[in-house]
Copies of this chain bind each other. A is one copy, B any other.
Amino acid sequence: MVTLINHFTVKGDTAEFEQVFAASSEFMVEQPGFVSHRLVRSLRTPGSYVNIAEWESAAAHQAVVRGPGFAEHINGLANLASVEPDLYTEVLGRVADGA
């Protein structure tokens, strides 16, 4: 499992960004190797969003990035926001004792 973290800084209308992102999410959910994602919005920094996505492997994610349809989605997002993606592996994870 790998984690894709993508930091978006929206330049214009955040409602439009969220709408375009939702369409992109519909596309990603259907791709082989996709596990889950969460889009979160900063409570403090206007226009700052982070997408945290789990993929079965870096290879599965790369295949989607290089495959048909992806460029259209990422370009739609890049028209509205700066995009800073990187791929990560878990080092440490903890859950509260009571959770």
Which positions in A face B, CB cutoff 8 Å? Answer: 2-3, 5, 18, 21-22, 25, 28-29, 34-45, 48-50, 52, 58, 86-97, 99
Contacts and interface: CB of A to CB of B under 8 A. Distances in A.
Nearest to A56: B96
Nearest to A38: B93
Which of A28, A58, A86: most chain B CB closer than 10 A?
A: A86
Contact of A18 (B29, B89, B92, B99): B92
Contact of A91 (B28, B45, B49, B92): B49
A91 B41 contact: yes
A34 B43 CA distance: 18
Given A50-B5, A86-B45, A39 B92 contact: yes
